Structure 1
Amino acid sequence: MALQPLATVADCEARGLAVTDGEASLLETYLASATAAVRDAAGVPISQTTSTVTLEGRTSVWLRLPAPPVTAVSTVLLDGETVTDYRLRTTDLWRRAGWQAVCGEPSEVEVTYTHGMPTVPADIVDLVCRIAAQTLVAYRSSADGEGLAAGAVTQERIGDYSVSYDSDGAITELELSDRLRRRLRSRLGGGAGVVRSR
């Protein structure tokens, strides 16, 4: 199941963006792209979903689950065998016998669990709306949509006005700064682990 965008056209309109009927589907596309950029930067889906992850099991009694917050665990397989003698503690699974089935060899632990936020935080909705709105403004800046290809200003002079653009295509409204990426990962707990949503 594909995750829903982190913001909607109605969210953008509630923040003051005027959207014509002809632009609504275009804005939905920009919201989907902005959502993907924010989720990638955060390293987690953000909104609540059910996922299956495969992690390396070791002798430790603790097993950290990626993409917090974790709200429920439905199945745990240790080297393909179902285990039920675990407890969920915040973002970790605790098991008295540890997470290694065979002494000396790492095990494979497959966990299906529900995680993420039931309601997307307002500031994340706002961020996605702002990115999508900036993309829409870039689109509106030229009748044929050429504004989407505009590069970043690299030089500007005021006397006898002059401006230079970097048009290598490397800068877009969807590229998030390293500072924002670090902030999102720190706040939302993104980290290592392969998460596939169902």
Structure 2
Amino acid sequence: MADMLATPEDLASLLERDDLDLYKATMLVECATAVVQAAADGQRIVEVIDDTAEITAGTGQWLSLPQWPVQSVTSVDYNGAALTTPAGYRLRGTRLWRRCGWSDCPLDLNVATVVYTHGFPAGAQKLQFARQAVLGLIRDVYDNPGGLKAEAIDDWSATYSALSTQMDGTPTLRAALRRQYNRRQ
């Protein structure tokens, strides 16, 4: 299953409906979550337990992990050998530190395989802005999948918000997501 920053039940509550097509609502939530995470510098901001990353290590003492926030590191293998803490490495924020550096020779391509848990756990306050963004992207899409701006039948007419029918979000929303989930926090 794909990442979901909201649930189909959240969408049903927002729309004040109890007859939503679960498959359609799930697909919209998954797609909007992908849009939000892409706008957040490609970070999977939802919690991922025991994710594996293979990182080419340089000559420095610091090795940056690709996803954040980092909750814990389960294991680190360096060139096929398991490292242990605290002698082998130390976790500091989103980076691993190794006293003797990550490479003996500047021309070697050494690989560190890291198994770690990252992202925010379900229900974390930090996820609320992303949840709101997901629901904001899809609230008008569920009943208007064609992206109509207006429709009329006899003497009835309706006008839809043009921006909310687009699943890519506004430049302002994308900038706010980058600010909220920027790696440097």
* TM-score of the alignment, normalized to the shorter chain, above 0.5: yes
Q: What are structure 1's unaligned runs of at least 5 residues?
A: 140-146, 154-170, 192-198
Aligned CA distance change for structure 1 residues 81 and 101 (closer, same or farther; 3 Å): farther
**Residues 3, 49 of structure 1: 8 Å contact kept:** no
Residue aligning to 2:45: 46
User: What pairs with 1:7-26 in structure 2 (closer than 5 Å)?
Assistant: 7-14=6-13, 16-26=14-24
Q: What are structure 2's unaligned runs of at least 5 residues?
A: 151-163
Pairs aligned (count): 164
**Residues 77, 83 of structure 2: 8 Å contact kept:** yes
Runs of 4+ in structure 1 deviating by more than 4 angstroms, as ranges, are none
The offset of 1:173, in angstroms, is 2.0
- Of the three residues 173, 180, 183, the one matched with 1:180 is 173
Q: What's the TM-score once normalised by structure 1's chain length?
A: 0.71
- Of the three residues 128, 132, 154, the one matched with 1:126 is 132
The one-character-per-residue Cα deviations of 1:48-104 (angstroms, maximum 9, x if unpaired) are: 113111212112111111221101111112222222210111111111011114453
User: What pairs with 1:13-162 in structure 2 (closer than 5 Å)?
Assistant: 13-14=12-13, 16-42=14-40, 43-50=42-49, 51-84=51-84, 85-118=88-121, 119-120=123-124, 121-139=127-145, 147-148=146-147, 150=148
The one-character-per-residue Cα deviations of 1:14-50 (angstroms, maximum 9, x if unpaired) are: 4x31224243432222111111211222211111113
**Residues 13, 19 of structure 1: 8 Å contact kept:** yes
Secondary structure of the 1:109 match is strand
**Residues 78, 101 of structure 1: 8 Å contact kept:** no
Secondary structure of the 1:136 match is coil
Separation in structure 2 between the aligned mates of residue 173 and residue 67 of structure 1, nearest angstrom: 28
Secondary structure of the 2:107 match is coil
Separation in structure 1 between the aligned mates of residue 71 and residue 142 of structure 2, nearest angstrom: 36
AA in 1 matched with 2:116:
Y
Matched residues, percent identical?
31
Separation in structure 2 between the aligned mates of residue 181 and residue 44 of structure 1, nearest angstrom: 13
Separation in structure 2 between the aligned mates of residue 33 and residue 112 of structure 1, nearest angstrom: 27
Larger relative CO (CA 8 A, sep 6+): 1 or 2? 1
Secondary structure of the 1:56 match is strand
CA RMSD in angstroms comes to: 2.7
AA in 1 matched with 2:176:
R
Bigger mean CA deviation after superposition, 23-32 or 79-88: 23-32
Q: What's the TM-score once normalised by structure 2's chain length?
A: 0.75
Aligned CA distance change for structure 1 residues 82 and 189 (closer, same or farther; 3 Å): farther
**Residues 67, 189 of structure 1: 8 Å contact kept:** no
